Amino acid sequence: MADIIDGRAIAAQLDEVTKAQVDALLADGHPAPGLDVILVGNDPASEVYVRHKIRACERVGIVSRKHQLPADTSQDDLLALIATLNAKPEVHGILCQVPLPEQIDPALVLGAIAPNKDVDGFHPVNVGRLSTGTGGIVPCTPLGVMKLIASVVDDLTGKDVVVIGKSNIVGKPVANLLLDAEATVTVTHIYTHGLADICRQADIIVAAAGAPRLVRGHWVKDGAVLIDVGITRIEGEDGKTKLVGDIAFDEVQHAAAVTPVPGGVGPMTIACLLSNTVKAARVAYG
Residues that bind ligand GUN (CB under 6 A): 95-98, 120, 140-141, 269
Closest contact distance (angstroms) between CB of 127 and ligand GUN is: 14
Return the number of the residue (9 or 48) whose C-beta is nearest ligand GUN.
48
Closest contact distance (angstroms) between CB of 101 and ligand GUN is: 14
**165 known member of a binding site:** yes
Distance CA 157, CA 178 (A): 9
Distance CA 258, CA 283 (A): 35
Closest contact distance (angstroms) between CB of 259 and ligand GUN is: 17
**198 known member of a binding site:** no
Rg (CA), the chain: 19
Return the number of the residue (97 or 277) whose C-beta is nearest ligand GUN.
97
Distance CA 169, CA 145 (A): 12
Return the number of the residue (61 or 93) whose C-beta is nearest ligand GUN.
93
Closest contact distance (angstroms) between CB of 250 and ligand GUN is: 26
Helix 7-27 vs helix 140-150: crossing angle, to nearest 10: 110
Catalytic residues: 53, 97, 120
Return the number of the residue (138 or 164) whose C-beta is nearest ligand GUN.
138
Distance CA 70, CA 68 (A): 7
Distance CA 202, CA 193 (A): 16
Question: Do β-strands 184-188 and 93-96 pair in parallel, antiparallel, or remain unpaired?
Answer: unpaired
Cβ-contact 147, 6 below 8 angstroms: no
**231 known member of a binding site:** yes
Distance CA 169, CA 138 (A): 10
Cβ-contact 33, 93 below 8 angstroms: yes
Closest CA to 189 of 214, 169, 213: 214
Which residue's C-beta sits nearest to ligand GUN?
98
Listed in sequence order, the residues at least 6 apart from 155 whose beta carbon sits closer than 8 Å to its beta carbon are none
Closest contact distance (angstroms) between CB of 37 and ligand GUN is: 8
Q: SS3 of 154, please? A: coil
**223 known member of a binding site:** no
**190 known member of a binding site:** yes
Cβ-contact 266, 16 below 8 angstroms: no
Listed in sequence order, the residues at least 6 apart from 70 whose beta carbon sits closer than 8 Å to its beta carbon are 40, 41
Return the number of the residue (149 or 208) whose C-beta is nearest ligand GUN.
208
**Binding-site residues from annotation for NADP(+):** 165-167, 190, 231
